[in-house]
Structure 1
Amino acid sequence: MVPMGARVSSRRVRQFAYVALPSVAVIALLGWQLANRASRTAAPAGLVTVPVRRGSIELTVSGTGTLEAGQRANITAEVSGTVVAVNFVEGDTVRKGQTLIELRNDDLVAQVEQARLSLAAAENRLYQRLGIPEGSPLDLSEALTVRAPVSGRLSRLEVKRGDRVSAGQPVAWVASGEQLLFRARVNRVALPFFHTGQAARVRLDAFDGELTGTVVAVASEPARSGGVESYDVDVALDETGVLGAGYAGQLTVEVPQGSMSFSGQTVWGQEQVVTARAAGVVREVLVSEGRRVTAGQVVMRLENPTLPQEVRAEQIAVEQARETLAQREQNLAKLKIVAPIDGVVTARDVAVGDTVGTGQNGARVLATIVDTSVLTLTLQVDELDVPRLRPGQPASVVVNALPGRTLTGRVEKIAGEGTVQNGVTIFAVTITVPGQPDIRPGMTASASVRVAAKDGVLVVPAEAVERQGGRAFVQVPEGDQVVRRPIRTGLENEQVVEVLEGLAEGDTVVVARRPAGSGTQGAGFRPPGTGGFGLPFGPGGGQRPAGGQPHDRQAPQGGGNR
């Protein structure tokens, strides 16, 4: 008999590492009753033959490895601080996002507050540049448009086309009431002699005669002009006729000591100032003095070609301040160290009062969490078997520590790049298995993936097939001669080969030549139960041991089934 591991034919000799690599295993459910030696014929003399039968063939990629946790997370501190709370003990089950450790770092708190102030200041400068309330849309065209704040009469216009104005500068006034007032400014000494309801006389410089009126308002706060304090006193005139605002004159009131007079001018009652929101040059004035306006009506438009660049610079400053604040807030949030995954705490190396962080001890592992809801098993697969695998294929997994139980897994990932071991290229194939309470990381397990199967096909022993020039042949007895017949093959493995063309059921093929005087069992013939075509053909028959390697083959590490 030709020793296992070599074959007398042109078929390529392949060797396989026992256990180290998974390989295509075979379960050949055949109808032969090989236990009955009558099924083997020895005609012509000196030959061992078997009939061609129909049976089932199944190919699997299998291997052995060590179970690992589906996820593992080492807990470290991303910022420095002092541990003020540890909310777990070793063995606890934790949930993703659960706070595990709390740190304290006053410097981080101060940095966040400073960043908030800097952002507020940058936003304030931006909106001031446009003269708009904070949070308003940044419309540059609107910022250069001057509108009436209220409905009324444009009582005073302070600028003209071509004038340069600054942000916030008064450019006009709108009198929201129809009442014409005479406003005089009095000094602090005379102020006590004025009160509302007091009778007054007004003489305008442009007209003869006096007008009468009543004091309707006395200012409580002074107005400063040229370093001199004065107080506004408003007098409602009884008759105004065709008068308007801006007529200068004298206000006279009677006091116990005689009379007092103060200069002033006519104004419309309830005046409101109109200001330029942004700096620029007056491009056009749309309303003349004395004309009525409605709230929101455009009074004038400005132009400022540098405003877009100025606003963009302020926007960049705001964005930078906002990014700084976000980064510092992220650092502050890291003072609470949370679980990145669901799982069980398997190690703890931290206590209240410890100083941890990004310094010399920054890489210190404070705790370890493993998620055993899903376990992984990595197999090393020969390159010739990889094309048969694809993610999602079911896998049968047996844990050595739990014999008799078969778990259902799936192919999760196939490495995109192989590695060479002892001249053979192998690929890492990851199998995932649902976790079980009594299955732990570190246990040894075997997995097999069914990659092909056929029922009711013609099969012959692998020993009967020869290879030459890419073609397959068998030896067929014809009378007292042996004829070499070409065949076309399908699925094959180390035990059996599917025949697609060239043979019919019941044909006889030669599996070995019996040396003279060797008895009934010649070279290449194995009794039932010892392997090869003589393996029992029932459920599971023909499958190689875990690891995919025949027990009696010796080969270098890294081999695999082809």
Structure 2
Amino acid sequence: MKKKKRKRGWLKKFLFLLIIAAAAAGVYYWYQKDEKKEEPLAANAKVEEVTRGTIRIMTEGNGQIEAAETVTVTAPYTLKIEEVKVENGDVVEAGDVIAAVDRESVREQIEILESSLSEMNSTISNMDRSGSSALSAPVSGRVKRIYAEQGDVLTDVVAAHGGVMELSADGKMKVEISATDDLKTGATVNVSFLDYEEEGTVISEEDGIYTITLEDGENYDADLEAVVTDENGRTLGTGTLQPNHAYLVECAYGIADEIHVDEGEYVNAGMTLLTRTNVQYHGAYLTMLEKRSEVMEKLRELRALEREPRLKAEKKGILSGLSLADCTVAAQDAPMYQLILTDSFWLKAEIDELDIAGVEEGQNATIVFDAFDTEEYEGRVEKISALGQNVNGVTKYTVTVSVPGIDKVKTAMSATVTIVTDEKADVLLIPIDAVQTVNGQKCVTVLRGESQEIVPVTLGLVNHTQAEVAEGLQEGDQVVVQGKSDFEVMMDMMQQSRSHIQGGDN
């Protein structure tokens, strides 16, 4: 029995050597045959036409759906909850009932607000409703800047400049210079501007910037260029005159009618700076009226709640973080629940480091959910994380894609996103399998009648199925798309035969 087994093994090895010899002869013939241009196409080759169209470079990533916006809903007033009508995970529409509340607790809140309203009414009735037409100087000082002009709405002037006028409140001006010399605090210097030269004092230094003050004067206007010199007349630096302690005069209402002072003029506290019109009501009076309106609005809401004592959802969303319970008190402004808004979601997808460079904010994306993978939805790249995560030697980055609100989409659903990272329209296209590399040059085989010609080409964008041809071909050219070569097919057959023989020996 042992001798027969060795004989069969010898026979299989002989057959294997015979196949190898036949394959070698075939390979030799394949390399030695004449390279004629006029030869039939390989059986596994096909011809494709150069077409004009659009090519896209795309990358894919997988991730899960998250809430794009979650709002926390707080108790509008301190109320007793009778019965909670919802649970975490419920989808609610605007107007759906969240909880029933105790009507008596609503009445208690109404009484509190009615008492507050009564006090406000008393305060308002005793207030001075009319505002003063005169705006007076709040402090003594010299007028350095006047921002308001006749006809200006004074609140607009304050919003733009911080005040309607600027006073020098301490009787001093200052100039700041950058000096290379080491000036001592308290040193005396000369400050020159226009036709004036005044003595100044160095009062401080910070990061090489020296502040020098001098006595204010009638014509010492702000923003005048000044030169600072030492006792020998040597220039130490230049700067602009500014009030040492500027006082901005504010104004809460009215329209400027007449300006009563000039820049450079010294004013005493209480002196009229300007007069104004449209001052029928004082600012404090108007503020109190606004507060009263707010209380009235709350009373209106509470009375409606008294008629129908139920808390309702204001928007559509998914409930989470529900803290309400039956027969408990919800304190005013305390969180009651969170609402995951369903008008949009985020898809947090992981993109490979080799593709992330082509992903940019604003790019369009196509999303397919695992739960209903025959449907496609449009999205948009909103954010790209700069922090990568390396898992098993592969680094990926999180890309956030906005997803429109879809009724059947739920949080934590898995999805695949496809992002178009580059795109060209109206370009020449060929199948990627038609491209060959000969001595480092990209080429294609072009069919011209019965002849085949190898043509060098310059490629543009290339994806998994197509290549853009920038130079070398024309629309309508016929290119040969090669399958596996005869040699590759023969080697596959040899490998299969060898595997079969080796399997028989075991």
Query: What range describes the TM-score normalised by the shorter chain of this pair?
Result: 0.3 to 0.5
Instruction: Choose between structure 1 and 2: higher helix proportion.
Output: 2
Q: Which has the larger radius of gyration?
A: 1
Larger relative contact order (CA 8 Å, sep ≥ 6)? 1
What is the TM-score of this pair, normalised by structure 1?
Answer: 0.38
Normalised by the length of structure 2, the TM-score is 0.42
